[in-house]
């Protein structure tokens, strides 16, 4: 199975995980894989593996995850000010974020994302979303002091208590320059290493271009001679973001091939696109005639079609990378129910203590994970993807052991666990909740 990360519609990039929509389609879990998703994110499947035990250990000094270590790093939530708000297309707007404390920011890998916590009137609880970083800083004398997120306004569907577009519409309509947002450190393993010299193909449609922007710029900074194809699909020029920025980035990249496919071009688009139609495998094959690594990000239909087409063309799955924030359904179990329950770690009775809340509850194995168990007993832990991707639900394990249902994609500090993918692995479990 190809590696992949699950994400939700927003901006996300390629790494070693399945891709999915980020931020705005419904937030979902993700894996680490080989097709990357930006902006929208792409669909993929979670690679399931044996459950892994985690024991309570001393917390890392400073209580920081590996993604927040280093100069300018931080743990958990940090206030950022919106320094600039820039309309990139009719659908996508960029938010340039600067830390309120004016301290330097840690470096990030192209394809990683930020997690935002939004206080939206009427939502009842903070709304947490993840969005891909859409820029990559050039080396300067000092550290960089801003991050850029580029977010598509998603229509808010009716008939849902918390519509998928609630966060993007709030950001577009109510967050202005000077607004303060709570932000977690860069995270995610759906990333492109810009240093190798092997050919690479960046494939996207719609808002999936966002993580690809960070990847393209990283190659321009670190390895401008690398052979790279940047292939993007859009409806027309009105919704095509970053066209001029890509043109500026392309200067000096002698190994770069650009191709834009417009499905419904307007008369004023003449001269700004290369083909009419969609990005599909026949188009890719007409442009790429050598072995390469593929990074993919876009709508679910786009992701599924490209993945299937590349597989049919004989492209090895390990060379196709993507990420997504929606967890695909798991295959139905073939083991008799009684045997399955007995064999599943975390399915037996246990005592779970939520230390900060002062509550102790008996676990009977009737919940998928400790996050759902906590919610069922009135707690509201921070969370977003529910798939071990974003790291938002990270929690100190004070006593006992837990079992992960799949390996986490997010970095996890020593002595901590992601409660969205863990269940009790010992008779007593105590969490810092």
List, for residues 261-273, the tens digit of each pLDDT value: 999 999 999 999 9
Q: Is residue 305 part of a domain?
A: no
Q: Which residues of 200-212 are buried (b: 16+ CB within 10 A; e: fewer)?
A: bbbbbbbbbbbbb
pLDDT value at residue 69:
42
Residue 182 belongs to some domain of the structure: yes
pLDDT band at 359 (very low <50, low <70, confident <90, very high): very high
Pick the last residue of a domain from 168, 187, 206.
187
* Rounded distance between C-alpha atoms, residue 101 and residue 109, angstroms: 23
Q: What is the mean pLDDT of residues 1-7?
A: 41
Examine residue 376 and state whether it is found in any structural domain, yes or no.
Answer: yes
Query: Domain of 423?
Result: 335-431
**Could you tell me the pLDDT band of residue 340, with boundaries at 50, 70 and 90?**
very low
* Per-residue model confidence (pLDDT) at position 319: 95
pLDDT at 170: 94
| Per-residue pLDDT reduced to its tens digit, 205-239 | 999 999 999 999 999 999 999 999 999 999 999 99
Domain-located, residue 351: yes
How far is residue 212's CA from residue 278's CA, in Å, rounded to a whole number? Answer: 18
Say how many domains are in the chain.
2
- Phi–psi pair at 34, nearest 5 degrees: -110, -10
Q: What is the pLDDT of residues 126-179, one digit of tens each?
A: 999 999 999 998 876 455 789 999 999 987 555 555 455 889 999 999 999 999
At residue 234, the pLDDT reads: 97
CATH assignment of the domain containing 163? 2.40.30.10
Both tokens of 56, joined, read 């309570």
Q: What is the mean pLDDT of residues 377-403?
A: 88
Name the pairing type of β-strands 180-187 and 78-87.
antiparallel
Residue among 278, 207, 212 at smallest CA distance from 22: 207
State how far the Cα of 30 lies from the Cα of 44, in Å rounded to an integer: 8
- Which of 134, 169, 187 is the last residue before a domain boundary? 187
Domain boundary among 171, 187, 203: 187
pTM tops 0.85, yes or no: no
6 part of a folded domain: no
CA–CA distance, 110 with 65 (Å, rounded to integer): 18
CA distances from 44 to 165, 326, 341 (A): 21, 8, 27
Domain CATH number, residue 416: 3.10.20.30
For the chain, what is the radius of gyration of the CA atoms?
A: 21
Confidence of residue 53 (pLDDT cuts 50, 70, 90): confident
Question: Once rounded to an integer, what is the mean pLDDT over residues 376-401?
Answer: 88
Percentages helix, strand, coil for the chain (3-state, rounded to 5) are: 20, 25, 55
In DSSP terms, 84 is beta-bridged to 96
Structure confidence at residue 300 as a pLDDT band (50, 70, 90): confident
Q: Are 335 and 343 in contact (CB under 8 A)?
A: yes
- Crossing angle (nearest 10°) for helices 209-222 and 243-250: 20
Helix (H) or strand (E) holding 200: strand 200-205
Does residue 29 have a pLDDT over 80? Answer: no
What pLDDT score was predicted for residue 31? Answer: 27
Q: Does residue 95 sit within a domain?
A: yes
What's the pLDDT at 338?
Answer: 41
80 Cβ neighbours under 8 A, 6+ residues apart: 97, 98, 99, 100, 147, 180, 181, 182, 183
Contact 384, 37 (CB under 8 A): no
Q: What is the pLDDT of residue 257?
A: 97
**High-pLDDT (> 70) share of the chain, %:** 75
Query: According to the model, what pLDDT value does residue 322 have?
Result: 85
For position 140, what pLDDT does the model report?
63
Look at residue 4 and tell me whether its pLDDT is greater than 80.
no
Average pLDDT, the chain: 80
Residue 342 lies in a domain: yes
| Distance (Å, whole) CA 418 – CA 372 | 12
What pLDDT, on a 0 to 100 scale, did the predictor assign at position 46?
Answer: 32
34 touches 2 (CB < 8 A): yes
Q: Is residue 66 part of a domain?
A: no
């Amino acid at each position: 199975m190809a590696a992949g990360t699950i994400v939700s519609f927003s901006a996300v990039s390629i790494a070693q995980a399945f891709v999915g929509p980020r931020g705005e389609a419904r937030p979902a879990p993700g894996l680490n894989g080989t097709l990357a998703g930006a902006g929208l994110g792409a669909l993929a499947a979670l690679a399931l593996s044996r459950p892994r035990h985690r024991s309570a250990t001393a917390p890392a000094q400073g209580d920081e995850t590996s993604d927040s270590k280093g100069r300018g790093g931080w743990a958990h939530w940090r206030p950022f000010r919106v320094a600039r708000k820039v309309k990139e297309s009719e659908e996508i707007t960029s938010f340039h974020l600067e830390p309120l404390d004016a301290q330097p920011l840690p470096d990030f890998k192209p394809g990683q994302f930020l997690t935002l916590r939004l206080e939206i009137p009427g939502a009842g609880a903070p709304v947490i979303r993840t969005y891909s970083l859409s820029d990559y800083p050039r080396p300067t004398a000092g550290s960089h002091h801003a991050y850029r997120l580029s977010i598509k306004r998603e229509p808010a569907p009716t008939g849902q208590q918390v519509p998928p577009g609630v966060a993007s519409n709030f950001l577009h309509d109510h967050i202005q320059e000077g607004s303060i947002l709570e932000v977690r450190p860069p995270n995610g393993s759906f990333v492109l290493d810009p240093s190798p010299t092997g050919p690479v193909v960046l494939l996207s449609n719609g808002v999936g271009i966002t993580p690809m922007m960070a990847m393209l710029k990283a190659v321009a900074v670190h390895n401008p001679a690398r052979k790279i194809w940047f292939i993007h699909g859009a409806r027309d020029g009105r919704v095509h973001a970053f066209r001029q920025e890509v043109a500026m980035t392309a200067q000096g990249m002698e190994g770069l091939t650009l191709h834009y496919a417009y499905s419904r071009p307007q008369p004023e688009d003449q001269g700004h696109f290369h083909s009419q139609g969609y990005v599909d495998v026949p188009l890719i094959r007409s442009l790429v005639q050598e072995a390469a690594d593929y990074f993919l990000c876009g709508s679910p239909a786009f992701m599924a079609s490209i993945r299937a087409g590349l597989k049919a063309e004989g492209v090895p799955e390990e060379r196709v990378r993507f990420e997504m924030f929606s967890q695909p359904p798991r295959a139905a179990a073939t083991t008799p129910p009684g045997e399955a329950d007995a064999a599943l770690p975390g399915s037996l009775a246990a005592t779970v203590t939520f230390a900060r809340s002062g509550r102790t509850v008996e676990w009977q194995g009737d919940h998928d994970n400790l996050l759902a168990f906590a919610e069922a007993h009135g707690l509201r832990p921070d969370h977003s993807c529910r798939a071990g991707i974003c790291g938002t639900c990270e929690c100190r394990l004070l006593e006992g052991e837990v079992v992960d249902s799949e390996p986490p994609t997010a970095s996890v500090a020593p002595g901590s666990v992601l409660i969205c993918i863990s269940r009790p692995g010992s008779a007593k479990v105590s969490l810092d909740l």
